[in-house]
Amino acid sequence: MCGIAGMVGASDAALVASMTAALQHRGPDGEGVHLEPEVGLGHRRLAILDLAGSPQPMADASGDLVIVYNGEIYNFAALRAELLAAGVPLRTRGDTEVILELWRREGPAALQRLRGMFAFALWDRRTRELHLVRDRLGQKPLYYAELAGGVLLFASEPKALLRCPAVDRSLDLAALDAYLELYYVPAPRTIFAGVRQLLPGHRMTWREGQVTISQWWDCEPRSPDPRLQSVEAWAEAVAPTLAEAIELHTVADVPVGAFLSGGLDSSTIVAALASRGAALQTFCVGYGPEGASYEERHHARAVARHFGLSHHELELKIDILDDLAAMVEGFDEPFGSWTALLAYHLSRFARQRVTVALAGDGGDEVFGGYPRYRGLRISEHLGRVPPGAIALAGRALRVLGEPTTALSMRRWGRQFLDSLTLPPGERYAAWVGKGADTARDRPYAPETARRIAAVRGPNFIAATFDRPAVGDLVARAWYADIHGFLPENVLRSTDRMSMAHGLEVRVPFCDHVLLEQMAAAPSSMRVTALASKRVLRKIAGEWLPPEVLKRKKLGFSAPFGAWLKAAEARIVADWLHPDVIRRRGLFDVNGVARIVGEHRRGTRDHALRIWSLIVLEQWQRMYSD
C-alpha cells in the first residue's frame, strides 16, 4: 500500500519531488524517484511485504520497464512460484517485481492474472509508452491531469496534482450537480475541472503525447448456472471461494487485524480467520447515550468472545466540525457521506496496533444486503397500485415527519413511495441518492441552475443500471452498485480515510473471483421481499453463532443527527450563514434556509443534505479561495 505520482511528456525533478511528498501519509516508510528526460516517477512506501526489499520505483532485470505501484496482489506467491519455475530470476520477495515480470512476458494480458487491489504506472522504455492501470473495482485510486504539449500528470490523490500550477482547479459544475445528488463525484470527473479519475477496470496508455483509454474488466450479470438450483447448492459452491478470498487477504509481513461490528459481513470474515487459529486483533466503534439506536459494541464483543479474540473498542464522542477540515483534506474534494468520519476515527484507532485491517466492505453489494434491493422486489408487485394511492401514502408519511434514528422506517418509506412511479433505472438512482426530489433539494441560485442545465449529462446511476444486456431489476441494481456506489462511495471512503493514517484496509468481499461467481447467481439467491443475503447467511450458518444470523441489519452508522443538532447554531452562524451563501453565489439563500428549517422542525430529515453543503463550503475555503 503506497502513494504514487509522476509525469510523462516532460520531466521536472522539483515537481515530481513535490507531488511525491504530498502523498507522505500514504507511505510513511520510504520514498523514491526515477527521472528520465521524458518521464518522472515518484513513490511513497507503506511497507507490508518484503519489508527490507522491494524499493520503488523498481525496474525489471533488463531495465526496460520501470514501475511505481500502489496496492497488494494477493495471489503473488503462486505467480512468483510460476515465474521461478519458468527460470525467471527474481531479486525480491514482494509482489511489485511479479507485476513487472508478468508484464514483460505477457503485456496487458497479465492484468487478468492479478488477484488484488492495485493502481500502477509502468514506463516501457522500448516503446516509449506509459501505462496507467486501475484495479477492477477501483479499490485503489488513480487521478490524472492532461496539460498542454502532451504532458500527462498522474497521482494517487488530487492533492499531488494540485502541486502543479498549470492544473485547472476551477469548479466543475457537472461534478457539483452529481455531488449534490449522490454525495460524491463519480469517475471519471472530479470536482476540479482539470483533474480526472481513471475508471475502475480501465487502462490508459500515453505515447508521443497522445492518450488512449480502454476497459480491461467488466462483470455483467450472467445467465444462472443450471446446475445450482437452491440456496444450499449455491452456498456449497461459493463457500470455498469466499474462504480462499479471506485467506489470501491476510498475506502480510506486518500485524493484521479486522474491523468487527458484530454484523454478518465482518463476523463472517472474523470467523474464517479465527478458524485458522490466527492471533487476530479486532476493532469496533461505539457511542455514548445519544447513540443507543446505533450501538453495536455488545454484538461485536460477543463475537470476539466466542472466538477468543483480542478485541478493542473505541467510544466516539466528537464534535463533527472539529474533524471537518481533516476529512475534506483526506478526499481533496467534497465527500458528503458522514460515515467517512467514522472510518477516519476507526482507522486512526486501529493503526495504533496494526498496519493492515480486513473489513466487510462489499458484502452488501455482492450478496444483496441493502434494503433497496428488497425494495426493488416489492416494487415489482406494486405496479398495479393506482398512482393516486401511492401519492396519498407519501403525503401521509410527510405529515408524520422523519426522525433521525438509525432505523427510521418513515424516512425509508417516503423515499420508496416518492420514487415508485419512476422508470426502474431512475427509481433506483433516486434511492441511491437518498430521495427522488433531488432537484428541489439542490437549492441553486438561478444563474447556477442555468449553467448546470447546459452541462448536465445522463443520470450516472440510471445509465449504469440500464447498461447490462440481461438481468432483472435486482441484477441491474447489483451491476449499478459494483460500478457506482461501491467504488465511488464505499471503497473511496475506506481508502482515503484509512490511508490518512497509514493503515491498509483490505476487503475480501471485493475479490473479483467471488464477484464473477456471484454474477451468475439468480437474484432470488440474494434477496426476496422478506430476506436478504441468502447465500451468505447459509454459508455463515456453518461458521457463526445463531444470534449473529438473526440480527437486523444496521450498517455502519452513528448518531449523526444528534451530532449535527449539537453543532447547528455554529453551522448556521458560519458555514451556512446567508452572507456566506450570497458571497459564493452558487445557491439561493432562501432555498438553503428552507432545507435547514424543514430539518429543524422534523418535517424532513435533511441531515445528509445539510452535511453535504457544509462539506462543500469547507472545500471551497480550503481549495478555491
Q: What are 132's strand-pairing partners?
A: 121, 204
Burial class (CB in 10 A: 0-12, 13-18, 19+), 516: middle
Residue 433's pLDDT band, with cuts at 50, 70 and 90, is confident
What is the pLDDT, as a whole number, of residue 175? 96
Average pLDDT over residues 218-241: 92
Of 51-55, 103-107, 226-230, 418-422, minimum mean pLDDT range: 418-422
| Nearest CA-CA partner of 252 in 95, 368, 17, 79 | 95
- Per-residue pLDDT of 155-168, as tens digits, reads 999 999 999 999 99
Distance between alpha carbon 406 and the CA centroid of its chain, in Å? 22
What is the pLDDT, as a whole number, of residue 285? 94
Q: What is the DSSP string of 259-309?
A: E--SSHHHHHHHHHHHTTT---EEEEEEE-GGGGGG--HHHHHHHHHHHT-
The Cα–Cα gap between 577 and 605 comes to: 20
Of 129-138, 439-448, 613-622, minimum mean pLDDT range: 439-448
The Cα–Cα gap between 534 and 526 comes to: 5
Q: pTM of this prediction?
A: 0.93
Under DSSP, is residue 117 helix (H, G, I), strand (E, B) or coil?
strand
Written as nine digits, the cell of 536 is: 451468505
pLDDT above 70 covers a percentage of the chain that reads: 92
What is the pLDDT, as a whole number, of residue 407? 47
Assess whether pLDDT exceeds 90 at residue 281.
Answer: yes
Instruction: Decide which of 379 and 145 is more confident.
Output: 145
Assess whether pLDDT exceeds 70 at residue 437.
Answer: no
What is the pLDDT, as a whole number, of residue 622? 96
Of 199-203, 311-315, 344-348, 549-553, minimum mean pLDDT range: 549-553
Neighbours of 555 (CB within 10 A): 15
What is the pLDDT, as a whole number, of residue 416? 64
Do the Cβ atoms of 141 and 495 come closer than 8 Å?
Answer: yes
Assess whether pLDDT exceeds 70 at residue 420.
Answer: yes
- Per-residue pLDDT of 543-593, as tens digits, reads 998 888 777 766 677 888 889 999 999 999 999 999 999 999 999 999 999
Residue 530's pLDDT band, with cuts at 50, 70 and 90, is confident
Total residues found in the chain within this entry: 625
- Per-residue pLDDT of 88-129, as tens digits, reads 999 999 999 999 999 999 999 999 999 999 999 999 999 999
| Nearest CA-CA partner of 331 in 179, 199, 215 | 179
The Cα–Cα gap between 534 and 515 comes to: 15
- Per-residue pLDDT of 169-220, as tens digits, reads 999 999 999 999 999 999 999 999 999 999 999 999 999 999 999 999 999 9
